[in-house]
Amino acid sequence: MTDTVLSSATKEVVIGFDRPFVIIGERINPTGRKLLSAEMMAGDYSRVEADTLAQVAAGAQMLDVNAGIPLADEPRMLAEVVQLVQSLTDVPLSIDSSIVAALESGLGVYQGKALVNSVTGEEERLETVLPLVKKYGAAVVAISNDETGISEDPDVRFEVAKKIVQRAQDYGISPADVVVDPLVMPVGAINDAGKQVLRLIRRLREELKVNTTCGASNFSFGLPNRHGLNASFLSMAIGAGMTSAITNPLHEPEMAAVMGANAVMGVDPNCAQWIKKYREPAAEGEEGAGRRGGRRRRRNA
């Protein structure tokens, strides 16, 4: 069993094979969000505050924090956002940037054990990000692409993941602290993308024995009823062994799929979380009325 332990100053979350699936909220990210981007550039983090609270209320166990805005002072901004989010919630954070200086800035102010998002199989990236992960005692998302780009062949992506896990060990980072992103391809463009990634998830679990994550919404890109398709994908990915995903917890179909999969996989004891979420309250006056003995008596005809 492999457990990836993440923490804030006061709360611990474990991503693991025999544990409930972990939702990492994706909303604190200005990419593709013009209004959020403009507000953050102006020093207005009110939407970040709202997104933080809404995602945690919706069931996110972790939050991804990104401040990637062109021409912005990303190291300063990411540190500010990390501190703000940690003042609002106790869930652990994924610190997300393609800029190493920004990652270090965020890690420098973080309280707890963070998840670094991310490292790829490119040599330059490995040599700059992995020492940072080790220095701050963090865990890291390993994305299965390298200098050659993203392969459509899942076996090639597996070998890239294997390389990253091995290189991480060279830096003293345990495989338990490497969470592999197998790269979910859009099924609308690649017809067998789902079948491929499910097989890859199984290999990552059984052969490398690592936890996994993904950007779940990539699967449905360009197709109608994306939430229904994402929900189906998440359920099947969890069955194949995926242990976390970076997604939007405000989308009910996806969250219902995850909670249902937790029940199916036996990691929601007595279906307690499912019942708590979905049990309808008894109608007024119904509780106990006419229920003695287990059922009502039938009147004589």
Domains and CATH numbers, the chain: 3-294 (3.20.20.20)
Q: Write down the pLDDT at residue 79.
A: 98
Q: Which pLDDT score, from 0 to 100, does residue 156 have?
A: 97
Q: What is the pLDDT of residue 284?
A: 74
Tokens of 33: 């969000």
Q: What is the pLDDT of residue 277?
A: 94
Distance CA 116, CA 130 (A): 10
Q: Hey, what amino acid is at 231? A: A
Q: State yes or no: pLDDT of 57 exceeds 80.
A: yes
Other CB atoms within 10 A of residue 116 CB: 26
Note the pLDDT of residue 285: 67
Per-residue pLDDT, 292: 45
Nearest 5°: phi and psi at 72? -85, 160
Q: Which pLDDT does position 282 carry in this prediction? A: 75
Is the pLDDT reported for residue 301 higher than 50? no
pLDDT in tens, 111-154: 999 999 999 999 999 999 999 999 999 999 999 999 999 999 99
The per-residue pLDDT for range 158-171, each reduced to its tens digit, is 999 999 999 999 99
Cβ 145 vs Cβ 151: under 8 Å = yes
What pLDDT score does 291 carry?
Answer: 46
ω into 87 cis (within 30 of 0): no
pLDDT in tens, 197-246: 999 999 999 999 999 999 999 999 999 999 999 999 999 999 999 999 99
Task: Dump pLDDT digits (tens) for 168-183.
Answer: 999 999 999 999 999 9
From start to end of 164-257, where are the E strands? 178-181, 211-212, 244-247
Contact 6, 112 (CB under 8 A): yes
Q: Give the whole-number percent of the chain exceeding pLDDT 90.
A: 92
CA distance linking residue 18 with residue 251, whole number of Å: 25
Phi, psi of 106 (to 5 degrees): -65, -45
Report the Cα 214 to chain-centroid distance in Å. 7
Q: pLDDT tens digits for 262-291?
A: 999 999 999 999 999 999 887 776 654 444
pLDDT of residue 295 exceeding 80, the answer is: no
- Predicted local confidence at residue 147, as pLDDT: 95
Q: Per-residue pLDDT for 296 more than 90?
A: no
CA distance 248 to 182: 19
- For residues 144 and 119, is the Cβ–Cβ distance under 8 A? no
Model pLDDT, residue 196? 97
Check pLDDT > 50 for residue 294.
no
